[in-house]
Structure 1
Amino acid sequence: MIPSYPEEFSYRPPFILRDRFTNFSAYIGSIPGYLFPTVILVIFDYYKKQQETAVLLEQKKTTELNALKNQLNPHFLFNTLNNLYALSLKKSDKTSEVIAKLSEILDYILYQCKDTFVPLKNEVILLHNYIDLEEVRYGDRVKVRFTKKISEDAKIAPLLLLTFLENAYKHGVVEELHIAKIDIFVTGNSKEIEFKIENSKPTFTKNDNRTEREPIGLNNTINQLNLLYPGAYQLDVTNTKELYRVHLKVKTNGV
């Protein structure tokens, strides 16, 4: 009895290692003896160049990442020192508190962000410290809601989320004459991280002639994402008259 098969049918014979070695040996055997050393040198040179190219690409990637971090850090420091200066002019009792908090933040940025990826929980602590600093400056003018659900093995590129929080204060709080709102949501595990931040935008401001500006550091953040998570992230930005929202999803795959 002849067996029947579906109309589309493909068959792949089992891999026979012996046959592969036989064919390769036959190929090597077909090379004239006087050319054999040359062929070996060509193959060796090819793999050596491949390795050198991989090393150069990795060095280029590291250099670009360090350059991006160096652009972020001075901006953050500049804003914080401005806050500290304003408090010192008022001879505020909170000046020493701000100095201590700033010292803690700088310690993290300068000494704990050297790795390509850091625990997500450390980045969340950084966000909380930043919020504490801004709370000293703005007091009850800002309502912040922070929701998080993080596993111990979740990791992310350092300082990636801080830029979005800076933008929320810069464009949603500084010029607000009434109550500003910031909502933050972070969840993460070893495979995926999701981050949402939404800030209200001022309806009445001190400067009615202001022009809409590109959020600070956004291009740097996108460059970091492209370098560290190529094809593995989704960044959605919503910008209306009432609010500014950022929604970031990153596939970490256990980095």
Structure 2
Amino acid sequence: MIKWLKQYKGFFIGLIVTCILIEVLVAIDFILIDKSEVAVNILLFLFWWIIISLPFHFSGYLKKKKKIVFRIIGLISLLVFTLWIDSYLSIPDNPISIFLIITFWMGLLYLLAPIFFSKYRLYILTLYIFLFSYWTYVRLFSENFEHYLKFEKGFAFTLLVLPIPIFFILWGYEQWKWLKSLKADKAAAELALLKTQINPHFFFNTLNNLYSLTVKHSDEAPKVILMLSDMMRYTIYEGKKSFVPIQEEIKYLNNYIDLHRIRYHKKVNINFEHDVGDDDQIAPLLFIILLENAIKHGVESLSDGAYIKMNLVSNGKTMHFCIQNNFDPTIKSEECGIGLENLKRRLALIYPEEYKLTVTERNNTFKVDLNINIK
């Protein structure tokens, strides 16, 4: 509560100053308050309370921004001059006062929301020119002045206030669009970061293995170079895309599996079955995280009998990927959890509420089921 009071103390000071100022102005007969106009009085009080409170609320900021302070002083001077003119001429709905109030309101709007005002200044000026012209016509060309005062009471005030909620709604819409864009940019940045977090140890290990094959003048070396080049191309270029053909993703996974088969001297049983449509699209580099985990924490932890079973199927609407591997339960690694968290974050960004990820660990078997609504 104390923190809240400190944060908004400027508005409490403004409330006190507004009340004192009204009492003084009423006491010297500078302003007259019609007690029958309750709604108008409340709106005017709230308006002036906010206006007077703003300098107190942003006092720390204003100390650093002298230009803004001078503009505020200019607006206050304009307001005081307008009130003096209105009091001096003693003419109901004085055209000069109305014009000066409109100028003050637009100056205030520019001060509070300069970007918004600059963007919509043509519409704001056009609207107020139209309203002022219409009011001038009604004011000057009514049947007589008494008729205007009798039947058009509060008409000028209504025209002045009418655009305010419109501009407020428009400004709120602009802020909503900005926040939505900010969230989209943040999601895109997070997604790009998550893509770069795909474990690069595979490429280093493959290069080391390639060096060994080259030294031995193995016939496998050209094949490894071609597959590695294709995988790097896919990771760098296709990985930037939002979606890729599922057949390209399958080719990438197969290359990854083949390279690991060449790398390991021990027998590794990796079975990958797939039944998908040629037109199916998927976000790139999703399944590789699960395959990397299965190899790193399954195959590499076992001296023999290691296996990985993978199955990928789709019906045009949903895609199901299942991967199962065995592992040594005595070896625990936190990196597996990090990889899954990475995958969950990517799925949440790309397929919000359109996926289901199920992880099952039983005895020495680890299984992951991933269902995605692709359409």
TM-score, scaled relative to structure 2: 0.54
2:310 touches 2:322 (CA, 8 Å); kept in 1?
yes
- Give the one of 358, 366, 374 matched to 1:236: 358
Equivalent position SS for 1:231:
coil
Task: Write out aligned runs for 1:126-137 (5 A).
Answer: 126-137=252-263
User: 1-side partners of 2:247 and 2:225: how far apart?
Assistant: 23
User: 2-side partners of 1:161 and 1:148: how far apart?
Assistant: 13
- Give the one of 8, 26, 47 matched to 2:173: 47
Unaligned 5+ segments in structure 1 are 1-28, 204-209
User: 1-side partners of 2:306 and 2:331: how far apart?
Assistant: 19
Cα shift readout 1:32-66 (whole Å, capped 9, x = no counterpart): 22112222211211111111111111100000000
How many Å apart are 1:106 and its aligned residue? 0.5
Q: Quick check: which has more Rg, 1 or 2?
A: 2
1:68 touches 1:220 (CA, 8 Å); kept in 2?
yes
Residue equivalent to 1:32? 158
1:120 touches 1:188 (CA, 8 Å); kept in 2?
no
**Paired letter, 1:221:** L
1:120 touches 1:154 (CA, 8 Å); kept in 2?
yes
Segments of 4+ moved more than 6 angstroms: none
Equivalent position SS for 1:109:
helix
Instruction: Identify the structure with bigger relative contact order (alpha carbons < 8 Å, sequence gap 6+).
Output: 1
- Give the one of 255, 277, 295 matched to 1:151: 277
Measured at CA, do residues 92 and 202 of structure 1 come closer, stay the same or move farther in structure 2, by a change above 3 Å? farther
Measured at CA, do residues 202 and 90 of structure 1 come closer, stay the same or move farther in structure 2, by a change above 3 Å? farther
Measured at CA, do residues 76 and 36 of structure 1 come closer, stay the same or move farther in structure 2, by a change above 3 Å? farther
User: 2-side partners of 1:80 and 1:164: how far apart?
Assistant: 19
The answer to whether residue 215 in structure 2 is matched with residue 93 in structure 1 is: no
2:301 touches 2:331 (CA, 8 Å); kept in 1?
no
**Paired letter, 1:123:** E
Equivalent position SS for 1:213:
coil
2:195 touches 2:239 (CA, 8 Å); kept in 1?
no
The answer to whether residue 192 in structure 2 is matched with residue 66 in structure 1 is: yes
**Paired letter, 2:244:** V
User: 2-side partners of 1:200 and 1:179: how far apart?
Assistant: 9
Task: Write out aligned runs for 1:199-210 (5 A).
Answer: 199-202=325-328
**Paired letter, 1:225:** L
Residue equivalent to 2:333? 213
Residue equivalent to 1:194? 320
1:153 touches 1:189 (CA, 8 Å); kept in 2?
no
How many Å apart are 1:158 and its aligned residue? 0.9
Cα shift readout 1:144-172 (whole Å, capped 9, x = no counterpart): 22211101232222100001111111122
Measured at CA, do residues 197 and 110 of structure 1 come closer, stay the same or move farther in structure 2, by a change above 3 Å? same
1:142 touches 1:173 (CA, 8 Å); kept in 2?
yes
Measured at CA, do residues 47 and 75 of structure 1 come closer, stay the same or move farther in structure 2, by a change above 3 Å? farther
How many Å apart are 1:95 and its aligned residue? 2.3
Equivalent position SS for 2:197:
helix
Residue equivalent to 1:248? 370
How many Å apart are 1:130 and its aligned residue? 0.5
Measured at CA, do residues 34 and 232 of structure 1 come closer, stay the same or move farther in structure 2, by a change above 3 Å? same
TM-score, scaled relative to structure 1: 0.77
How many Å apart are 1:211 and its aligned residue? 3.1
User: 2-side partners of 1:155 and 1:173: how far apart?
Assistant: 30
Residue equivalent to 2:347? 225
User: 2-side partners of 1:186 and 1:135: how far apart?
Assistant: 20
Residue equivalent to 1:122? 248
**Paired letter, 2:259:** L
Identity %: 39
Q: Which moved more, 1:87-96 or 1:225-234?
A: 87-96
Residue equivalent to 1:103? 229
Measured at CA, do residues 212 and 140 of structure 1 come closer, stay the same or move farther in structure 2, by a change above 3 Å? closer
Cα shift readout 1:108-135 (whole Å, capped 9, x = no counterpart): 1111122212222211111111011111
Structure that is richer in helix per residue: 2
